[in-house]
Chain A
Amino acid sequence: MNWEGWLLTFGQIVLVLGFSPFLVGLIKKVKAHLQCRQGASMFQPYADLTKLFRKEVVYSETASWIFTVTPYILFSSTLAASLLIPTIFTPLPLNFAGNIVALVYLLALGTFFLILAGMDAGSAFGGMGSSREALIASLTEPALLLSLFAVAMTSGSANLSTIVYKTALLQDIVLDPPPHLMALVALWMVTAAETGRVPVDNPATHLELTMIHEAMILEYSGRYLALVEWAAGMKLMIFLSLVANLFAPWGIATNVSPGALGMGLVVYLGKIMGLAVIIAFLESMLAKLRLFRVTEFLGVAFILSVLAVVFFYILRVE
């Protein structure tokens, strides 16, 4: 990998790390305005993270080394997954490291350790969060994989950078609304589930009836909590990038020139900020579903992703 590749990779790390707290703050701000109040500043999450890093860590004496290791593993696996997704430039330097399956399983690595950490403190909250997360993860993974696969089939490759590259240049792909549309709806539903947003999970609540992700990280404090929260923000950015760049990647830079990169940056930020605003609207309009209705919700996502693939095969025959 030449120095350009290193620079682009480093740039993407900085972008993902730097922008994800802002995204979270943006969603909170929009929700606040929809609730007719001012709300905290959009840059508040940065202040929160800094404060958390500086605070003392209190850990449970029941917990083991899994508890201390998990935030680091979660942080690094989420960041590694984000390096596989094109944000402002495609094809990425590291794209040969993995494809769709690698992406899904890197995120699963983080989920696995988070489930373990939730059980580690021996509290009922953590156990409950882990149990619910296990159920939801088992339903979102196939839907996520298949909906990404449906899009992959239209461009004949399972490498994310290649898919985005081909779609952006409109070369060599099968242009067909039905599989794309169904895959988009399925992916959007999976986004709501994986990032812990309404209607699957409420990110602002701490009541045991209603929390899933928050329950697993309840025992964390200090820098561990900072890393976990940052990882959650990065996961949100990952999913929004997937939706934005797999389905509408136009504007992304395909060559390494300052102009193209600059425009790619502006277009990308605009797209994901728009999607974040849509999420904020949906969070304010919808109510959180009961846990066993969430399974029906994810069942719809799974069926839609299966049908997207089926449509691709059937329509391609003609």
Chain B
Amino acid sequence: MSNLQITIGSQLVNLCSVLLLLTCFGIIAQRRLLACVDLFAIQSMFLAVMAALVAYLTDIHHIYVAAVLTIVIKVIILPRILKQVVRRLDVKRELALYVNIPTGLLICGALVILAFFITQPIVHLGFLLTRDSLAIALAIILIGFFIMVSRVKAITQVIGFLVMENGLFLGATAAAYGMPLIVELGIFFDVLVAGLIVGIYANQIQDTFSSVDTSHLKNLKE
């Protein structure tokens, strides 16, 4: 691989990582659940593109498999399941939030800065192709966690979990050029099963409580 290829390659991978980060911000700033699911699908698409790019530049072929799996599961199947759940439960919007949107955005900005601080010593040691992406990966994990914490509807919390998983995948690709294929397959199946369970789970909650507001779970305490 020529030096120029590495430079252009790492710039492109940086570009994909930033696009991923932008979609994260899009999810935080959104109230419409269908749009959140769409943004997640777009995010997974960028992730797959990035994985394919890394596979091309480093000639590690099993990352191609991971990229294809990402497209099949996270771009096609999971968003379909989630959209079906959203339509069936007729929850289109997230109206009440624990943290309002501008504050949420500020917190996410702070989380990105925090992620960069934490990865700074690591980043200096690494000479890998995609070292800036590690910091962005950590940021996406933190933002995914924040989505889970700050949202009320179950669907958005699941999306937060899936965003976290995206961030993990990005981090693994950035730091170690992908995990062993077995581990990746295992994770993908976990995610798929989680999606299916959520589909059933949300229906169950809806049938029992007539709403998917997770704050109602607090009623179980007394």
Let me know if B113 is at the binding interface, CB within 8 A.
yes
Q: How far is the CB of A299 from chain B (nearest CB, A)?
A: 4
Q: How many A-B residue pairs have CB under 8 A?
A: 56
Q: Is the CB of A307 within 8 A of B109?
A: yes
Let me know if B14 is at the binding interface, CB within 8 A.
yes
Q: Is the CB of B18 within 8 A of A177?
A: yes
Q: Is the CB of A175 within 8 A of B106?
A: no
Q: Is the CB of A299 within 8 A of B11?
A: no
Q: Is the CB of A295 within 8 A of B22?
A: no
Q: Is the CB of A314 within 8 A of B101?
A: no
Which secondary structure characterizes the binding site on chain B?
Answer: helix
Q: Is the CB of B124 within 8 A of A303?
A: no
Q: Is the CB of B18 within 8 A of A318?
A: no
Answer whether A303 and B108 are a contact pair too, CB < 8 Å, given A295-B102, A314-B116, A318-B123. Answer: yes
Select the stretch in A68-76, A178-186, A229-237 that faces chain B: A178-186
Cα–Cα, bound, A175→B11 (Å): 9
Let me know if B191 is at the binding interface, CB within 8 A.
no
Q: Is the CB of A303 within 8 A of B18?
A: no
Let me know if A47 is at the binding interface, CB within 8 A.
no
Among A175, A181, A310, contact of B18 (Cβ-Cβ < 8 Å): A181
Cα–Cα, bound, A299→B29 (Å): 9
Q: Is the CB of B22 within 8 A of A181?
A: yes
Q: Is the CB of B29 within 8 A of A296?
A: yes
Cα–Cα, bound, A299→B106 (Å): 9
Cα–Cα, bound, A306→B105 (Å): 11
Chain A residues, CB < 8 A from B116? 310, 314
Among B25, B108, B112, B132, contact of A315 (Cβ-Cβ < 8 Å): B132
Q: Is the CB of B102 within 8 A of A299?
A: yes
Let me know if B19 is at the binding interface, CB within 8 A.
yes
Cα–Cα, bound, A310→B139 (Å): 14
Chain A residues, CB < 8 A from B14? 176-178
B-contact bits for A30-73, CB 8 A (1 contact / 0 none):
00000000000000000000000000000000000000000000
Q: Is the CB of B29 within 8 A of A182?
A: no
Let me know if A300 is at the binding interface, CB within 8 A.
yes
Which secondary structure characterizes the binding site on chain A?
Answer: helix
Let me know if A304 is at the binding interface, CB within 8 A.
yes
Q: How far is the CB of A232 from chain B (nearest CB, A)?
A: 27
- A277-318 interface (Cβ within 8 A of B): 295-297, 299-300, 303-304, 306-307, 310, 314-315, 317-318
Q: Is the CB of A307 within 8 A of B112?
A: yes
Q: Is the CB of B101 within 8 A of A299?
A: yes
Chain A residues, CB < 8 A from B15? 177-178, 181
Q: How large is the interface on B (under 10, 10 to 19, 20 to 34, 35 or more residues)?
A: 20 to 34
Q: Is the CB of A300 within 8 A of B113?
A: no
Cα–Cα, bound, A295→B29 (Å): 11
Which residue of chain B has its CB nearest to the CB of A299? B102
Cα–Cα, bound, A185→B22 (Å): 9
Q: Is the CB of B22 within 8 A of A177?
A: no
Q: How far is the CB of A77 from chain B (nearest CB, A)?
A: 30
Which residue of chain A has its CB nearest to the CB of B22? A185
Cα–Cα, bound, A303→B102 (Å): 9
Q: How far is the CB of B137 from chain A (nearest CB, A)?
A: 14
Q: Is the CB of A181 within 8 A of B101?
A: no
Which residue of chain B has its CB nearest to the CB of A300? B29
Q: Is the CB of B19 within 8 A of A303?
A: no
Answer whether A182 and B18 are a contact pair too, CB < 8 Å, given A175-B11, A296-B29, A318-B124. Answer: yes
Which residue of chain B has its CB nearest to the CB of A297? B29
Chain A residues, CB < 8 A from B135? 314
Q: Is the CB of A303 within 8 A of B109?
A: yes
- B80-126 interface (Cβ within 8 A of A): 101-102, 105-106, 108-109, 112-113, 116, 120, 123-124
Chain A residues, CB < 8 A from B108? 303
Chain B residues, CB < 8 A from A185? 22
Q: How far is the CB of A83 from chain B (nearest CB, A)?
A: 33
Chain B residues, CB < 8 A from A300? 25, 29, 105
5 A-B pairs with the lowest CB-CB distances in the bound complex, closest first? A299-B102, A177-B15, A178-B18, A296-B101, A303-B109
29 A–B contacts from the bound complex (CB under 8 Å):
A176-B11, A177-B15, A177-B18, A178-B15, A178-B17, A178-B18, A178-B132, A181-B15, A181-B22, A185-B22, A296-B29, A296-B105, A299-B29, A299-B101, A299-B105, A299-B106, A303-B25, A303-B105, A303-B106, A303-B108, A303-B109, A304-B25, A307-B109, A307-B112, A307-B113, A314-B113, A314-B116, A317-B120, A318-B123
Which residues of B line the A interface, CB within 8 A? 11, 14-15, 17-19, 22, 25, 29, 101-102, 105-106, 108-109, 112-113, 116, 120, 123-124, 132, 135
